[in-house]
Structure 1
Amino acid sequence: MHCNKFERLVSALYRCTRSAVCGAARSGVCGAAVRGQRSVRLQRSAAVWSPCQTASCHFSTGASSKNTVDPDEVRRFQSLAGKWWDEQGEFAALHAMNDLRVPFIRDNLLNVHRARHPGKPLAGLRILDVGCGGGLLTEPLGRLGATVVGVDPVEDSIYTAQLHASYDPDVRDAVSYQACTLEELMTEGEEEQGAGQFDAVVASEVVEHLADLETFAFCCSHVLKPGGSLFITTINKTNLSYALGIVVAEQLLRIVPSGTHDWEKFISPEDLERLLESNGFSVQSVQGMLYNPVSGAWSWTNSTAINYALHAVKLSDDPQPGRAEESGPHPEHHGAATHS
């Protein structure tokens, strides 16, 4: 009941947010945001993917090399590294999100990998959890039978994850953690866990904190096996996501710490899909998600205006521009996946 009322409220906000937000920001904030969004889309549309010419998976744009890590984001999460497992604290919404994201990952993987292992449905699968933080998603995937590697550039978060896993025999042998970036993992040991070593890559609430999404997409494709799955949950780039995700969630209700998100880093499902397809992925499903701060619960919704979950599959070992389009008709990827 609470969820239905909240979803109706969000729908009403969605209808009026554009005029309300712009009206409240005539000084130029809204105009700058819209211009920035248009600029980003134009840049992405004009960008041409090119393979890495060095082993470091860095992309040269202008005079600088880019990687996935934003130092400001690392410093921000460093200050929160000891709070990951406080279910009533700053990461309460992420704890609650497991009710959606764990079944979303599990069910889509089972649709791809038909094998059934009673009690351990993901047994035999190797999963990389990018930006794992304290292991909030890593551990549940390990309990489902997968071998999970969690990576995060914040060393104290990795220490928190290792310490928490050490107390639970059900996950202790299933998960492992490394304090490194995705591109460092890709290059540090090709034989051990480099190219094509993972059945799935998970990046939940991560891409909105990254410095370079092109590098991220390439590296994800590199570490995945052909046919491997990429799972992303993130925030859409809309006026409604600004109003609810930043103004309400951070500044008014304090659901997450102030300054956690930068609206300019948000990405729409359409832009994310184009980016992934240019790096050899086929997007299978995109599903809207909605958080109710009253009940503290997440639910699936038909609208992707705020949060959404995406599942994509790697098509080949050699992504090239247009490869996704040449591979044949796409599946109906905007329908809801099977959830439980």
Structure 2
Amino acid sequence: MTKKALITGLTGQDGSYLAELLVSKGYEVYGLVRRSSSSNLGRIRHLGDKVKILSGDLLDQSSLMDVITESAPDEIYNLASQSYVPLSWTQPALTAEYTALGVSRLLESIRRCKPDAKFYQASSSEVFGQPDESPQTERTAFRPRNPYGVAKAYAHWMTINYRNQYNLYACCGITYTHESPRRGSEFVFRKITQGAAKIKLGLDKELKLGNLDARRDWCFAQDVVEAMWLMLQQEQAEDYIIASGAVNSVKDLVKYAFDYVGLNWQDYVSVDPAFYRPDEAVLLAGSIDKIHKELDWKPRYSFKNLVELMVENDLKELTDRSAS
């Protein structure tokens, strides 16, 4: 029997990679898309009619119930949220509505309309905020330091509460920073790979960055969505950290990107304190011991592989754009 899946956040980086993965596995895939963003389907256009688009909104519970009833999914992946941390400070209430309360509405809709569906909630390393241990594990205390992290912590615990209270198959993947060629250029990883490509092609002369010593746990979005899928194939719902298990600095990222295009990064990169983040000193690094041991999952792409993949993609995109 063909499995059916519903993805919220379909048009985002993770949603598009997850849709690809599920289509390749023979799923009937449905995507929840807000009416206002229905034209923003660039990341999934290549899938054509293999994904069925349904209109709904995490702010409107009746629309969620309608979509779940219509699609009758076996698996539901909630990847929708306001996910840009700086924006969560300027729009804290909106971030809470989508990222926190939106999950409550979705869980309640599942309970009422399709309680046998398996549910995946995209949690975030931002729930740890300023952790008292590194690397963090699934047992590390939550201490979020921004409105986005607070909203994700609420959503995480609501998912666990619905699992315990109503015996739903509901689990959380605590994902660390993950990147891909589909990442927006406002995020530092893409800003750097695109910057190196632009300078190599003569389209720019300088790249301004913040703290080069800031360190992150980065992995490839394609690896991350595979972990999401694996989590819903188990007998029992469990929460897992999804990360690379390694930490690299912004300087490492810059060096790999500029090495790939044959340039000395020190000739082109300048530091601007305006780009420093207030929580830059916090080291978020995830332990993947549990997910590796229990689900046999670990990233296939190394940090260096990922940097080179994205620089190559940016070179091609920029070259094609110049030619057209």
Which TM bucket (shorter chain)?
0.3 to 0.5
TM-score (norm 1): 0.39
TM, length-normalised to structure 2: 0.40
